[in-house]
Amino acid sequence: MSEPDPTTAADDRAARDAVRERLIGAWRLVSYTATSTAGETVSPLGPAPYGLIVYTAQGHMSAQLGRGDRPPLRSARLEDAADDELARAAAGYLAYGGPFEVVGPTTVEHHVTTSLFPNWIGRAQVREVGFHGPDLVLRVATPTRLWGADRTAELTWRRLS
Protein backbone atom coordinates (compact mmCIF):
# COMPACT_ATOMS: atom_id res chain seq x y z
CA MET A 1 0.00 0.00 0.00
CA SER A 2 1.44 3.36 -0.97
CA GLU A 3 1.55 6.43 1.21
CA PRO A 4 -0.62 9.41 0.23
CA ASP A 5 1.23 12.01 -1.80
CA PRO A 6 1.70 14.99 0.58
CA THR A 7 1.96 17.38 -2.38
CA THR A 8 -1.43 16.29 -3.71
CA ALA A 9 -3.02 16.59 -0.25
CA ALA A 10 -1.51 20.06 0.21
CA ASP A 11 -2.71 21.14 -3.25
CA ASP A 12 -6.23 19.88 -2.49
CA ARG A 13 -6.24 21.73 0.85
CA ALA A 14 -5.01 24.92 -0.82
CA ALA A 15 -7.75 24.64 -3.48
CA ARG A 16 -10.44 24.15 -0.80
CA ASP A 17 -9.09 27.10 1.20
CA ALA A 18 -9.15 29.29 -1.92
CA VAL A 19 -12.80 28.41 -2.59
CA ARG A 20 -13.70 29.03 1.04
CA GLU A 21 -12.04 32.45 0.94
CA ARG A 22 -13.93 33.39 -2.25
CA LEU A 23 -17.26 32.33 -0.73
CA ILE A 24 -16.95 34.58 2.34
CA GLY A 25 -19.32 37.52 2.07
CA ALA A 26 -22.85 38.36 0.98
CA TRP A 27 -24.33 37.49 -2.42
CA ARG A 28 -27.66 38.41 -4.06
CA LEU A 29 -29.60 35.95 -6.19
CA VAL A 30 -29.44 36.64 -9.93
CA SER A 31 -31.19 33.53 -11.26
CA TYR A 32 -32.51 30.13 -10.23
CA THR A 33 -33.31 27.41 -12.75
CA ALA A 34 -33.90 23.68 -12.56
CA THR A 35 -33.42 21.43 -15.57
CA SER A 36 -34.97 17.99 -15.90
CA THR A 37 -33.07 14.97 -17.17
CA ALA A 38 -35.22 15.36 -20.33
CA GLY A 39 -33.91 18.93 -20.80
CA GLU A 40 -36.97 20.91 -19.64
CA THR A 41 -35.96 24.02 -17.66
CA VAL A 42 -38.20 25.73 -15.12
CA SER A 43 -37.76 28.75 -12.86
CA PRO A 44 -38.90 27.44 -9.45
CA LEU A 45 -39.24 30.92 -7.95
CA GLY A 46 -40.59 32.59 -11.08
CA PRO A 47 -38.87 34.84 -13.60
CA ALA A 48 -37.66 37.42 -11.06
CA PRO A 49 -36.56 35.64 -7.87
CA TYR A 50 -34.78 37.46 -5.08
CA GLY A 51 -32.44 36.16 -2.46
CA LEU A 52 -29.45 36.56 -0.24
CA ILE A 53 -26.80 34.03 0.73
CA VAL A 54 -24.16 34.87 3.30
CA TYR A 55 -21.00 32.94 4.17
CA THR A 56 -19.11 34.04 7.29
CA ALA A 57 -15.42 33.67 8.09
CA GLN A 58 -16.51 31.76 11.21
CA GLY A 59 -17.93 28.99 9.01
CA HIS A 60 -21.67 29.68 8.94
CA MET A 61 -24.02 30.30 6.06
CA SER A 62 -27.58 31.50 5.64
CA ALA A 63 -29.70 31.52 2.50
CA GLN A 64 -33.03 33.26 1.91
CA LEU A 65 -34.79 32.95 -1.46
CA GLY A 66 -38.21 34.11 -2.60
CA ARG A 67 -40.50 34.64 -5.55
CA GLY A 68 -40.42 38.23 -6.75
CA ASP A 69 -44.18 38.16 -7.27
CA ARG A 70 -45.25 37.14 -3.75
CA PRO A 71 -48.21 39.36 -2.82
CA PRO A 72 -48.20 41.11 0.55
CA LEU A 73 -50.42 39.65 3.26
CA ARG A 74 -53.69 41.42 4.00
CA SER A 75 -52.70 41.73 7.66
CA ALA A 76 -49.94 44.05 8.78
CA ARG A 77 -48.91 41.54 11.45
CA LEU A 78 -47.65 38.04 10.70
CA GLU A 79 -49.49 36.44 13.62
CA ASP A 80 -52.79 37.93 12.39
CA ALA A 81 -52.47 36.52 8.86
CA ALA A 82 -54.88 33.85 7.65
CA ASP A 83 -53.55 30.29 7.36
CA ASP A 84 -54.10 30.16 3.59
CA GLU A 85 -52.10 33.39 3.12
CA LEU A 86 -49.28 32.06 5.27
CA ALA A 87 -49.22 28.83 3.26
CA ARG A 88 -49.02 30.74 -0.04
CA ALA A 89 -46.27 33.00 1.33
CA ALA A 90 -44.24 30.00 2.54
CA ALA A 91 -44.71 28.15 -0.76
CA GLY A 92 -42.84 30.96 -2.52
CA TYR A 93 -39.99 31.21 -0.04
CA LEU A 94 -37.04 29.10 1.09
CA ALA A 95 -34.78 29.82 4.03
CA TYR A 96 -32.09 27.74 5.69
CA GLY A 97 -28.75 28.07 7.43
CA GLY A 98 -26.05 26.44 9.47
CA PRO A 99 -22.34 25.64 9.34
CA PHE A 100 -20.70 25.16 5.96
CA GLU A 101 -17.66 23.22 4.86
CA VAL A 102 -15.76 23.24 1.58
CA VAL A 103 -15.16 19.52 1.11
CA GLY A 104 -13.47 19.64 -2.30
CA PRO A 105 -12.17 22.19 -4.78
CA THR A 106 -15.64 22.34 -6.37
CA THR A 107 -17.95 21.21 -3.54
CA VAL A 108 -19.47 22.91 -0.50
CA GLU A 109 -21.71 21.29 2.10
CA HIS A 110 -24.30 23.34 3.95
CA HIS A 111 -25.01 21.55 7.25
CA VAL A 112 -28.58 22.66 7.90
CA THR A 113 -29.47 23.52 11.50
CA THR A 114 -32.44 25.81 10.75
CA SER A 115 -34.85 25.78 7.84
CA LEU A 116 -38.33 26.79 6.74
CA PHE A 117 -38.48 23.22 5.36
CA PRO A 118 -38.03 21.14 8.53
CA ASN A 119 -37.01 18.00 6.61
CA TRP A 120 -33.66 19.63 5.78
CA ILE A 121 -32.70 20.14 9.43
CA GLY A 122 -29.88 17.79 10.37
CA ARG A 123 -29.01 17.08 6.75
CA ALA A 124 -26.30 18.37 4.45
CA GLN A 125 -27.20 20.26 1.30
CA VAL A 126 -24.34 19.54 -1.10
CA ARG A 127 -23.60 22.08 -3.83
CA GLU A 128 -21.11 22.23 -6.68
CA VAL A 129 -19.32 25.58 -6.60
CA GLY A 130 -18.16 27.61 -9.57
CA PHE A 131 -17.08 31.20 -10.08
CA HIS A 132 -17.78 32.98 -13.37
CA GLY A 133 -16.57 36.58 -13.44
CA PRO A 134 -18.37 38.38 -10.59
CA ASP A 135 -20.78 35.50 -10.07
CA LEU A 136 -20.96 32.51 -7.78
CA VAL A 137 -22.77 29.52 -9.27
CA LEU A 138 -24.11 26.84 -6.95
CA ARG A 139 -25.50 23.65 -8.49
CA VAL A 140 -27.37 20.66 -7.19
CA ALA A 141 -25.50 18.25 -9.43
CA THR A 142 -27.29 15.01 -8.65
CA PRO A 143 -30.77 14.96 -10.20
CA THR A 144 -33.31 15.32 -7.42
CA ARG A 145 -37.10 15.13 -7.55
CA LEU A 146 -38.06 18.80 -7.98
CA TRP A 147 -41.32 20.18 -9.36
CA GLY A 148 -42.55 16.92 -10.83
CA ALA A 149 -39.36 15.63 -12.46
CA ASP A 150 -35.79 14.61 -11.69
CA ARG A 151 -33.89 17.90 -12.02
CA THR A 152 -30.57 19.57 -11.38
CA ALA A 153 -30.80 23.10 -10.00
CA GLU A 154 -28.48 26.02 -10.71
CA LEU A 155 -28.43 29.25 -8.72
CA THR A 156 -26.37 32.24 -9.80
CA TRP A 157 -25.39 34.80 -7.16
CA ARG A 158 -23.60 38.17 -7.48
CA ARG A 159 -21.43 39.51 -4.69
CA LEU A 160 -22.83 42.53 -2.85
CA SER A 161 -20.42 45.44 -2.55
pLDDT band at 109 (very low <50, low <70, confident <90, very high): very high
**What is the average per-residue pLDDT within 125-134?**
96
Q: In terms of C-beta distances under 8 Å and separation of at least 24 residues, what long-range contacts does 145-153 make, across chains too?
A: 146/34, 146/44, 147/34, 147/42, 147/44, 149/36, 149/37, 149/38, 149/40, 150/36, 150/37, 151/34, 151/35, 151/36, 151/37, 151/42, 152/34, 152/35, 153/32, 153/33, 153/34, 153/44
pLDDT band at 145 (very low <50, low <70, confident <90, very high): confident
Residue 161 has pLDDT above 90, yes or no: no
Residue 130 has pLDDT above 70, yes or no: yes
Residue 150 has pLDDT above 70, yes or no: yes
**What is the average per-residue pLDDT within 12-29?**
96
Q: Is it true that domain 6-159 has CATH number 2.40.128.280?
A: yes
Average pLDDT across the chain, whole number? 93
Q: How far is CA 156 from CA 65, 109, 130, in A?
A: 12, 17, 9
pLDDT band at 146 (very low <50, low <70, confident <90, very high): confident
Q: Which residue has the higher pLDDT, 136 or 143?
A: 136
Residue 2 has pLDDT above 60, yes or no: no
In contact, 24 and 62? CB cutoff 8 Å: no
pLDDT band at 4 (very low <50, low <70, confident <90, very high): low
Residue-level pLDDT at 132 = 95
Residue-level pLDDT at 1 = 53
d(CA 134, CA 138): 13
**What is the average per-residue pLDDT within 86-105?**
96
d(CA 159, CA 54): 10
**What is the average per-residue pLDDT within 69-90?**
93
